Structure 1
Amino acid sequence: MQPVTSNTHAISLNPANGKRLAAYPFHTDEQLDAALASNHNAFLLWRQQTVAHRAQKLRDLATVLRDHTEVMAQMITAEMGKPLTQARAEVAKSANLCDWYAEHGPAMLATESTPVEENKAVIEYRPLGPVLAVMPWNFPLWQVLRGAVPILLAGNSYVLKHAPNVMGCALLIEEMFAKAAFPARLFSVINVTPEGVSRAIKDPSIVAITVTGSGRAGAAIGAQAGAALKKCVLELGGSDPFIVLNDASLDDAVKAAVAGRYQNTGQVCAAAKRFIVEAGIAEAFTAKFVSAAAGLITGDPTEEATQSGPMARYDLRDELHEQVTTSLEEGATLLLGGNKMASEGNFYAPTVLGNVTREMTAFRQELFGPVAAIVIAEDAQHALELANDSDFGLSATIFTADERLAAEMASRLECGGVFINGYSASDPRVAFGGVKQSGFGRELSHFGLHEFCNAQTVWKDRR
């Protein structure tokens, strides 16, 4: 199997067959410095544009994305293995994001009046400057745009350091911005090593950093951002609980559970991973869940019928298999899958582990792939304790017919988002982010828009 990167190039491999797609040379220090300088110059002009003008450019970008849905989706599928139908949906969702912020964002950036004594103070939302974004491969377009769109609307510029295995996607996104006639270099792609990221963080032109990725990456970059006294937003890993109580609609819960766990071949941060099922319904839920997971169509991601494709990288597949093997050694029961599939690509069989307990690897660590862990709870209180017994706190799901109980449990769940009778999702209308080891700060809604603004107080006639 070819390496996923080298000392000199970012390597793009097709995860369905292991074939090399392209190799992209890393920027030299001089090239990086020049790119950051050009991005800063673009910011100086962009911040002078009206919010209405910026909003119109987002509408233009939405049109470009829809016009180029197939080329963008094909690149996503080729580089990280997302089933093509899901890749097209990612492009559509990203275009809708642009339109939503274009319509609703300007009002969020409007001057806010605040009466103070007999005088008047106002809050003005000003841009900060160039924002460095370190992004992952699992949603190569959506992860980028859900941050970039509000950042740009606020009048900032955006510097993208994408994952090495999706550099083709990164350059294609840059091309989409050019087709939408955004100012040159306002949205800039840099291809750098971790040392290059450190250099960019220290560059005086970069004012803030946003990171989506692993806890290890977030801790490293967050520490550097703190040392440079630069704002940082971190969206990191998750091991989301999916609670199913005895009175839940069994069929609805299973349908949502399978969709939430195996979408994007299980490679989603905010997705159900620990299925915490009350004892009275556990046997029936498990039987239906295993049957539904066994029926998933796994294979060539370019085929329209495929529901689960290859994992994005072979090393990640190997790590996942080690987690499964360790969990079985610790006492978990293999109910489905548990094996690397015989093929040229990075395929892993949809897997279900039963009898998982809180001390096992499958409970304590994030399973970033098509593996579900089923945990039995004695009652609703026990389910809540199990759900919160995690270093992560991204999102959670509760399935129950008792709305009062669901609301009470939601108030006690330690996470950034709770979904009652539905699985985790991200939407521009609501804030997205986590607590504990899942990071801090928020994306989307007005929270994501204001994260990278200077909320400037202007107090008139202060005497």
Structure 2
Amino acid sequence: MTIATVNPTSGKTEVILEPHAPREVDARIGQAHRAAAALRETTFAQRAEWMRRAAAFLEENAEGLGELITVEMGKPIAQSVAEVAKCAKAMRFYADHAEQFLADAPLADPAAVGAGSAWTRYEPLGVILAVMPWNYPLWQVIRFAAPALMAGNAGVLKHASNVPQCAMALDALFENAGFPAGSLRTLLIGGSEVAPVIADPRIAAVTLTGSEPAGRSVAAIAGQHIKKAVLELGGSDPFIVLASADVAEAARTAVRARINNNGQSCIAAKRFIVHTDVYDEFAREFTRLMAGLTVGDPLDAATEVGPLATESGRTELAELVEDARDKGASILTGGSAPDLDGWFYLPTVIADLPDDARLIQEEAFGPVASLYRARDDEDALRLANQTGFGLSSAVWTTDAEEEARFIAGIDAGAVFVNGMTVSYQELPFGGIKRSGFGRELAAVGQREFCNLKTVWKA
């Protein structure tokens, strides 16, 4: 298993790290286990102080960390720096709110259960294993780690093998801010070595953000060992434009929703479902804007779309486009790799997809958008729900009845009205169907990895 920084802009290997041997993995889990015991004895106020210090460190080093993200996975530098800032904001959010989110809740009428008093309380589970992807190499980890550590848990991180420098930066972050040594420990291991870590009795639960096959595997192993799991898997999110929508604004937002993070986001809009009355207008404007995007070096501030993170990712994306082309779909713009070093792919818009095209059911992880013409609102809702995914969605309308119908009718973990899907620490995040189960962020995300204990007192 190679654990290395391979710059996606050039295709050149820049750093190779040695994987952790089994003895080192065992030692690191042991460090996290001891840290979890220590954290149980600390107060919310103490953990909040440490968390704020860690957030300040991220802010002070945002430019350098942003460049590291871009070099490892290729997103435009402004987005990488913004990712660092988002992490710091979430850390402060949990420092400010964890005690409130996890406060004891007394039963209003304890006499109804024959008690003098009764209440529930949240307690940490212990060591949580996080299996995280490369597309948001800091944010994906922090949105797990900040609430988990503020609850009194410790964490063990198995990060993607192509962002090892980000992984090791996170390994030191919390300890340097004052948390007990081992509060978050990185394991430099391959995917095949995750199973014994989940099975380790010192691991209390597991959270994974990644592909559907990875989610199936992790859930099966966690279930075998009767351990809690939270899964955030793929998405093929619909972006629905109805006849009453502001079409120009919808098209502008649609571009951002599709190409953010070079199109490599589980919650990126991927299927653009447009009412036939405004389809031609939307398609023209959306295609024009997509074709005009600047593709190039992600360290250049003028670049809007950088390379895909991996060569295999670009190959898989190109195969989806070629499958659609071969089956008669229309390529309105893009549809190929530009003549650049690295793993670039042009922003692409595809229309007239036949029912047997792979893009109908499979996730396009890159700057490729699929256009669908809906006959009416009912047809738009049918198209929105025709995939096995159910992560998030967006609907554009100025009609209150349409809004209510689509909010209720879309099968997804979230619906954004007249906007694009974004994850916020204040709102729960997660999906249904093949997009996974459980929730991250907000109060409910923090409570996922706590023991909800009932207390009855005579």
Taking structure 2 as the reference length, what is the TM-score of the superposition? 0.98
> Are residue 285 (structure 1) and residue 282 (structure 2) matched?
yes
Deviation at 1:358, TM superposition (A): 4.2
Cα distance per residue 1:1-47 (max 9 Å; x no partner): xxxxxx3x312100000111111111111111111111101111011
> Are residue 88 (structure 1) and residue 88 (structure 2) matched?
no
Q: Quote the Cα distance in structure 1 between the aligned partners of 2:51 and 2:175.
A: 12
Cα distance per residue 1:262-292 (max 9 Å; x no partner): 0011000011100000001000100000011
- Report what 2:249 is aligned to: 252
- Report what 2:68 is aligned to: 75
Q: Quote the Cα distance in structure 2 between the aligned partners of 1:357 and 1:255.
A: 26
- Report what 1:156 is aligned to: 153
> Are residue 129 (structure 1) and residue 126 (structure 2) matched?
yes
Q: Is the 8 A contact 1:55 1:106 kept in 2?
A: no
2:23 pairs, out of 30, 34, 39, with: 30
Q: Which amino acid aligns with 2:276?
A: A
1:403 pairs, out of 397, 400, 404, with: 400
- Deviates further, 312-321 or 114-123: 114-123
> Are residue 348 (structure 1) and residue 335 (structure 2) matched?
no
5 Å-filtered alignment, 1:47-446, equals: 47-114=40-107, 115-117=109-111, 119-446=116-443
Q: Quote the Cα distance in structure 1 between the aligned partners of 2:265 and 2:206.
A: 22
Q: Is the 8 A contact 2:104 2:122 kept in 1?
A: yes
Q: Quote the Cα distance in structure 1 between the aligned partners of 2:41 and 2:353.
A: 56
Q: Quote the Cα distance in structure 2 between the aligned partners of 1:140 and 1:404.
A: 40
Q: Is the 8 A contact 1:260 1:424 kept in 2?
A: yes
- Tell me the secondary structure at the aligned position of residue 402 of structure 2: helix
Q: Which amino acid aligns with 1:81?
A: G
- Tell me the secondary structure at the aligned position of residue 389 of structure 2: coil
Q: Quote the Cα distance in structure 2 between the aligned partners of 1:367 and 1:340.
A: 15
- Report what 1:12 is aligned to: 5
Cα distance per residue 1:43-85 (max 9 Å; x no partner): 1101110112112211111111100101110110000001000
- Report what 1:3 is aligned to: none
Q: Quote the Cα distance in structure 2 between the aligned partners of 1:348 and 1:199.
A: 37
Could you tell me which runs of 5 or more consecutive residues in structure 2 were left unpaired when the two chains were aligned: none
Q: Quote the Cα distance in structure 2 between the aligned partners of 1:83 and 1:152.
A: 30
Taking structure 1 as the reference length, what is the TM-score of the superposition? 0.97
How many positions carry a matched residue from both structures? 454
Cα distance per residue 1:286-334 (max 9 Å; x no partner): 0000011111111000001111000000111011000000011122100
Q: Which amino acid aligns with 1:79?
A: E
Deviation at 1:137, TM superposition (A): 0.2
Q: Which amino acid aligns with 1:370?
A: P
Q: Quote the Cα distance in structure 1 between the aligned partners of 2:340 and 2:436.
A: 36
Q: Quote the Cα distance in structure 2 between the aligned partners of 1:391 and 1:40.
A: 38
Q: Is the 8 A contact 1:358 1:364 kept in 2?
A: no
RMSD: 1.0
Q: Quote the Cα distance in structure 2 between the aligned partners of 1:443 and 1:102.
A: 16
Q: Quote the Cα distance in structure 1 between the aligned partners of 2:360 and 2:255.
A: 18
Q: Quote the Cα distance in structure 1 between the aligned partners of 2:305 and 2:355.
A: 28
- Tell me the secondary structure at the aligned position of residue 245 of structure 2: coil
The runs of at least 4 aligned residues of structure 1 exceeding 6 Å deviation read none
1:43 pairs, out of 7, 24, 36, with: 36
Cα distance per residue 1:79-130 (max 9 Å; x no partner): 0001000000100111110111111221011111113225321111100000
Q: Is the 8 A contact 1:320 1:369 kept in 2?
A: yes
Deviation at 1:175, TM superposition (A): 2.6
Q: Quote the Cα distance in structure 2 between the aligned partners of 1:11 and 1:173.
A: 16
Percent pairwise identity: 43
Q: Quote the Cα distance in structure 2 between the aligned partners of 1:352 and 1:300.
A: 22
Deviation at 1:383, TM superposition (A): 0.3
Cα distance per residue 1:375-430 (max 9 Å; x no partner): 00001111001100111000010001112321221111110000000011100110
Q: Is the 8 A contact 1:236 1:439 kept in 2?
A: yes
Deviation at 1:448, TM superposition (A): 0.5
